[in-house]
Amino acid sequence: MRIEIMTLFPEMCEAVLGSSIIGRARKAGLIDIYCRQIRDYAFNRHNHVDDTPYGGGMGMVMQCEPIYRCYEAVCDRMGTKPHTIYMSPKGKVFTQERAKELSKMENIAILCGHYEGVDQRIIDKIVDEEISVGDYVLTGGELPAMIVTDAVARMCDGVLPSDSCFMEESIYSGLLEYPHYTRPEIWEGERVPEILLSGHHANIQKWRKEKSLEITALRRPEMYEKYISEHPEKPHKNKK
């Protein structure tokens, strides 16, 4: 998979996506992520990429031409038109299910807006979908782009040791995750649940499933109801 991020702050994206699991996967050649500076495609000597909005109003709007030139360079590099995403609070809220779907694609481009956003005409021309990471406003699209990239990249082949690393995780399975514990066995008078020390794997799995159901029912009832409707053979009482 190749992901190209079109941004005014590539160094910001690289600082995160060049580290930890995703950074190691990039170095190993398991996934190709490139952060492209939109200013490099400006058509004026000062590398301006924004201008005042028609109709008045606060802030500046990113112009079509630098973004389009950047997009053309992305297409040339990939040898095809990528699935193009614009990070926007007007988009559909990002979910684990959408992350799974995107992880099956070969080429993705992500456009990060800034200031008051980008000229609508470039969205209409190149964008396939708009994605939001929640109902709040950020200073730019870089953090949301990194969230989407991380969520998608970690499910690509070889990035994690095995599929089980993410298939049992919170949200992916349809439930919130069970509690985790590690050494010491007793901390501040609180003991690790005895079942986790038993060595009985079947009972441990049963306990974990029960805890996942319990936590989901209490904290995300809409997720719990959806899971129960899809798994009617595994009822669970909502403990409050």
In a domain, 86, yes or no: yes
Domain limits for position 211: 168-230
Residue 182's CATH number: 1.10.1270.20
Per-residue pLDDT, 46? 84
User: What gap in Å lies between CA 240 and CA 231, rounded to an integer?
Assistant: 21
In a domain, 9, yes or no: yes
Nearest to residue 145, comparing CAs of 67, 60, 75, 86? 86
- Are 39 and 128 within one domain? yes
Q: Residues 75-93: what's their mean pLDDT?
A: 97
pLDDT, tens only, 48-79 = 999 999 999 889 999 999 999 999 999 999 99
The pTM of the full predicted model, rounded to 2 decimals, is 0.86
Alpha helices in the chain (DSSP H): 10-17, 20-27, 64-78, 96-102, 120-126, 142-153, 164-167, 201-219, 221-230
